[in-house]
Amino acid sequence: MKGRLRTKLRRIVAVARKEQLHLVRDPRSLIMGIAIPMLMLFLFGYALNLDIEHARLVVWDQSNTADSREFVVRFAASRYFSLVDRSVSYREIEQAIDSRRAIMALVLPQDFSRSLKAHGRVDVQAILDGSDANTATIVLAYAEAVARTYSAEVAISRLMRSGRSPSAQPVELRPRVWFNTDLISRYYIFPGLIAVIMMVIAALLTSLTVAREWENGTMEQLIATPLTAGEIITGKLIPYFAIGVIDLILCVLVGYYTFGVPFRGSLLLLFALSLVFLLGALALGILISIVAKNQLLSSQFALVATMLPAFLLSGFIFPIDNMPRPIQVVTNVITARHFVHILRGIYLKDSGIHEVALQAVILALFGAAVLAIAVKKFRKKID
């Protein structure tokens, strides 16, 4: 029994050694395995930012009084707006928004100061560029917040001038944000980015392994050996598993030291569950390679099977709760969704194994099932 086990280990190590030599001699594979994930990490890490600051603003102040100027200053002083121009007509506002020089315009009426003093209220027109609905919605919320703050201060000032004390509001909301106190979108996006990169790169790398053997004519030599299908697949996975571990370590280090993403959980739990996910992604790639037997077809199918679901259906960027119900059901079979949940929980919430146990079981079952199918599909004979 021990002799048989030693023999199997020697065979697996021999296949792994062969695959390692190929990686070393083929710089393209190393670039794909290490350089491209780092490029994606920096590119998406800097480019993907859902926080909107310094939204470009133009103002048409028809009143031009101390009160109207004070109102405009509130917007210009906010970190959410940047006053880029002052207009004197709707035509100029239209040109500014059409040319994307501005996202929002404020139109203050001529009677701004007079209405504010006489009636305590005045209507200010806000014109937004609705071609980007998400940005317009966020900018409008910022503008309403600035206007509410200014309105509250004006009301308190009027009461104090009249000798009355401002009355307390019946209900006062005191928000307290947990886990991401400053609501920085990068802290939310980056853990999901790790899942997407690991899923795409792992499947893409291993999708070429078996297909390459068929195209290079070396599969016949493997078939002639006493190696079993399980030994061949295991040996081929080991070098890419090592590359995946290196990518994971680099991702964690870059996230913490370059992007300042806080890490509140357990490193041991993170790496343990990441290795389970990595095994499933590698097994999926090698299954694709076994079925396709063609490198071009394998790589294309691997991209479609991993990148699109990982980006669109994992909750990495688009909230799953906002998707139609049938699509939400489909996302349950996307392993990247469960891994994104695990990463965000460990990174931001210090989640333990009890909080992510279900997702961990799903990842383990997926990896075992795909690996078993790959072994079964690998046939040691020439068609």
pLDDT band per the 50, 70, 90 thresholds, residue 273: very high
Angle (nearest 5°) at CA 141 between 130 and 343: 95
**Considering the domain boundaries, does residue 42 fall inside one?**
yes
Q: Is the pLDDT of residue 165 over 70?
A: no
Instruction: Please tell me the predicted confidence (pLDDT) of residue 296.
Output: 81
Say whether both 229 and 284 belong to one domain.
Answer: yes
Measured CA to CA, the distance from residue 333 to residue 335 in angstroms comes to 6
Measured CA to CA, the distance from residue 25 to residue 202 in angstroms comes to 19
Q: What is the mean pLDDT of residues 358-363?
A: 95
Q: Which amino acid is present at 365?
A: L
Q: What is the mean pLDDT of the chain?
A: 86
Say whether both 207 and 122 belong to one domain.
Answer: no
Say whether both 147 and 215 belong to one domain.
Answer: no
Measured CA to CA, the distance from residue 277 to residue 290 in angstroms comes to 20
Give residue-wise pLDDT tens across range 75-96. 998 889 999 989 889 999 999 9
Give residue-wise pLDDT tens across range 304-315. 888 888 888 898
Say whether both 209 and 350 belong to one domain.
Answer: yes
Say whether both 332 and 230 belong to one domain.
Answer: yes
Instruction: Please tell me the predicted confidence (pLDDT) of residue 38.
Output: 87
**Considering the domain boundaries, does residue 22 fall inside one?**
yes
Measured CA to CA, the distance from residue 339 to residue 307 in angstroms comes to 14
Please state the domain count of the chain.
2
Measured CA to CA, the distance from residue 78 to residue 61 in angstroms comes to 18
Residues 219, 5 contacting (CB under 8 angstroms): no
Q: What is residue 141's DSSP assignment?
A: H
**Considering the domain boundaries, does residue 4 fall inside one?**
no
Query: How many beta carbons lie within 10 A of that of residue 161, not counting itself?
Result: 8
Contacts of 315 (CB under 8 A, 6+ apart): 192, 331, 337, 340, 341
Instruction: Indicate which CATH number applies to the domain containing 86.
Output: 3.40.1710.10
Of 363, 323, 357, give the one whose Cα is nearest residue 339.
Answer: 363
SS3 289: helix
Measured CA to CA, the distance from residue 57 to residue 61 in angstroms comes to 13
Say whether both 27 and 118 belong to one domain.
Answer: no
Contacts of 276 (CB under 8 A, 6+ apart): 360, 363, 364, 367
With a pLDDT cut of 70, the percent of the chain lying above it is: 94
With a pLDDT cut of 90, the percent of the chain lying above it is: 37
Range of the domain at 150: 55-161
Give residue-wise pLDDT tens across range 117-157. 877 788 899 999 988 888 888 899 999 999 988 888 887 77
What's 234-250 look like in SS3?
Answer: HHHHHHHHHHHHHHHHH
**Considering the domain boundaries, does residue 299 fall inside one?**
yes
Say whether both 43 and 60 belong to one domain.
Answer: no
Q: How far from chain centre, in Å, is Cα 369?
A: 27
Length of the chain: 383
Question: Mean pLDDT highest for which of 41-45, 138-142, 157-161, 289-293?
Answer: 138-142
Question: 115-124, 153-162, 235-244, 247-256 — which is least confidently predicted?
Answer: 153-162
Q: What is the mean pLDDT of residues 162-168?
A: 63
Tell me how far CA of residue 53 lies from CA of 80, 120, 252, in angstroms. 4, 30, 27
Say whether both 245 and 313 belong to one domain.
Answer: yes
- 267-292 and 185-206 helices cross at what angle (nearest 10)? 40
pLDDT band per the 50, 70, 90 thresholds, residue 382: low
